[in-house]
Structure 1
Amino acid sequence: MGQFQSNFQTAGQIATQMETAANTIQSATSRSITKSERTTLSVNAKAQEANQQALELTKQFYSAFQQAVSNIHSVANEFERMDNALQNNFSQLSFNKDPFN
């Protein structure tokens, strides 16, 4: 009889790698952006606005990425639970008996 396996360990490794990447993203978004106050050029103001938009977009990406990591953990746990339950159910069945006797 085949073995039920969701490969929980592989899912955990992938989620851990994603968490490491997410931590790097979060670290980058927590750094302050040094704004130049010495110049009044409109280019400087537009650059500051673009930097702020990029920062906000990165924060939104980080949040969605963290949710994906959480979902991977949750789904992996559920698959592992179901695999174990199915394995237990099938191991209790006797395939040698005729069900019509």
Structure 2
Amino acid sequence: MGKFQSNFQTAEQIATQMGRASDTVQSATSRTITKSHGTTLTVNTQAQSANDETMQLTKQFQNAFQQGINNIRSVVKEFERMDNELHNNFSNSPLLERHFR
């Protein structure tokens, strides 16, 4: 009897690679940006505001990206569970055994 199978290993490898990327983004956003306070130029203030906004957006992206990774892992586990359940159900079916001998 053939085995039902989702590609658990490939999906997990992809999720692991995505996790590494997420860790890199998180590491980058946890660093402190040293702000210059020695100038009163408007452009300096605007640059600081743009940096702050970019950091916040990047943190939001990283959180959403990590949630996506968690969702992928959850779905993979559920597919694996269903694959095993279907395999067991079909393997133990007397009706199927008669037809596929």
When normalised by structure 1's length, the TM-score is 0.92
What are the Cα deviations for residues 54-88 of structure 1, in whole angstroms up to 9, with x where unaligned? 00000000000010010011000000000000000
**Gaps in structure 1 of 5+ consecutive residues:** none
Match of 1:33 in 2: 33
Q: What root-mean-square deviation, in Å, do the aligned CA atoms of Structure 1 and Structure 2 show?
A: 1.2
The reply to whether residue 55 of structure 1 matches residue 55 of structure 2 is yes
In 2, Cα distance between equivalents of 1:89 and 1:7? 20
In 1, Cα distance between equivalents of 2:93 and 2:71? 33
The reply to whether residue 71 of structure 1 matches residue 71 of structure 2 is yes
Match of 1:18 in 2: 18
In 2, Cα distance between equivalents of 1:96 and 1:65? 45
In 2, Cα distance between equivalents of 1:81 and 1:96? 23
Aligned length, in residue pairs: 98
The amino acid of 2:50's aligned partner reads A
In 1, Cα distance between equivalents of 2:8 and 2:70? 14
In 1, Cα distance between equivalents of 2:76 and 2:84? 12
Change (3 A) 1:25 1:96: closer
What are the Cα deviations for residues 26-52 of structure 1, in whole angstroms up to 9, with x where unaligned? 000001111111110000000000000
When normalised by structure 2's length, the TM-score is 0.92
Structure 1 residue runs of 4 or more that deviate by more than 2 Å after TM superposition: 94-98
In 2, Cα distance between equivalents of 1:96 and 1:4? 16
The amino acid of 1:55's aligned partner reads M
In 2, Cα distance between equivalents of 1:19 and 1:92? 38
The amino acid of 1:78's aligned partner reads E
The reply to whether residue 42 of structure 1 matches residue 42 of structure 2 is yes
